[in-house]
Amino acid sequence: MTQQEDQQEELAERRAAVAELGAAVRALTDAAVVSEVDDATLRSVAAAVAELVPSLTAARRERHERPATDPPGSGHRWYNPVIGAGNPMAPPVHVELVDGRAVGTCVLGLAYEGPRGYVHGGISALLLDQILGHAHGASGRPGMTISLSLRYRGPVPLNTPLRITGWLGESDPGRPSDADDHGDDRQPSHAIGTISTADEPDSVLVEARGKFIVPNRKQVQRIFGGEDFAR
C-alpha cells in the first residue's frame, strides 16, 4: 500500500468514527427532548453523560484549528451544523446537485421544534442559508452570506421527510465593479431557496432569498488569517 493510500484509509476510518459518535450523541439528544421518564432517571443519565465529557476533551482543537476529518483542500466540513455527520446538532441534511440545483433531504425531530409539532423558524433559516451557500459554492465561487430574507408561507412539519432546494438567481444588475480597489470579483450573487415536504415538493412552505460574496484576498486575510477559507 502506498503512503497516500495509507492516509486515505486512516482518513476514512477517522470520518467513520466521527460519524458514529455524531449519530450516537444525536440519538441521545433526540431521546432527551422526547423523554418523559421520572426525575431520578433524568438525573442519573445526566451524571453518566457528564462523566463521558473528559474522555473526549482529552485531546481537543481550538477555534480556527482544522479537525482531522477536514484536511486542507478536501472542502469537507464534518462538523458543519447542517450537513456535518460529526455534529450532533446537524440533522444531518444530505445534499446532492440535481440539474444545477442543490437539493437537500432530511427529517427534523423534536429537537428542532418551534410551534408545537413544527420546525422552529430559525432552523429553517439555518437550513436555507446552507443550501443557498451550497448552490453558490457549486457554481465554483464558495462565498459568505451578506444578506438572507425569508418568507414563511406554511408551518414545516417535524418527523416528516423534507426537501430543501437552492439555486442561483440573476446577479446584481449594473453594480459597478471595484475590482481595482479590492482585487477580486465584487459582484454579489443572488440565491433562492425553498423548503417543502418531500411528498409535496411544489407546495412551498418557506422561501429564502440571499446574497453571497466571494471574500477578496484582504477580507480572507482579515477574517481567516489568509487561509483558503472554503477548502
Ligand X SMILES: CCCCCCCCCCCCCCCC(=O)SCCNC(=O)CCNC(=O)[C@H](O)C(C)(C)COP(=O)(O)OP(=O)(O)OC[C@H]1O[C@@H](n2cnc3c(N)ncnc32)[C@H](O)[C@@H]1OP(=O)(O)O
- How far is the C-alpha of 22 from the C-alpha of 12, rounded, in Å? 15
Q: Which is nearer to ligand X, 130 or 165 (CB)?
A: 130
Least distance between ligand X and beta carbon 144 (Å): 4
The footprint of ligand X (CB under 6 A) covers 97, 129-130, 133-134, 137-138, 142, 144-146, 184, 186, 188, 213-216, 219, 223
Least distance between ligand X and beta carbon 129 (Å): 5
Which stretches does DSSP call E strand in 92-185? Answer: 94-98, 101-107, 144-152, 161-168
Least distance between ligand X and beta carbon 67 (Å): 16
Q: How far is CA 119 from CA 59, 64, 125, 195, 198, in A?
A: 35, 31, 10, 11, 15
Q: Which is nearer to ligand X, 96 or 199 (CB)?
A: 96
Of all residues in the shown chain, the one whose CB is closest to ligand X is 133
Strands 206-213 and 144-152, sheet pairing: antiparallel
Asked if 104 and 165 count as a contact pair (C-beta separation under 8 A), the reply is yes
Q: Which is nearer to ligand X, 95 or 158 (CB)?
A: 95
Least distance between ligand X and beta carbon 175 (Å): 8
Peptide bond into 92 cis (omega under 30): yes
Least distance between ligand X and beta carbon 211 (Å): 7
Q: Which is nearer to ligand X, 46 or 97 (CB)?
A: 97
- How far is the C-alpha of 144 from the C-alpha of 146, rounded, in Å? 6
Q: How many CA atoms lie within 13 A of 114 on its CB side?
A: 12
Q: Which is nearer to ligand X, 145 or 160 (CB)?
A: 145
- Residue labelled with grid coordinates 423534507: 162
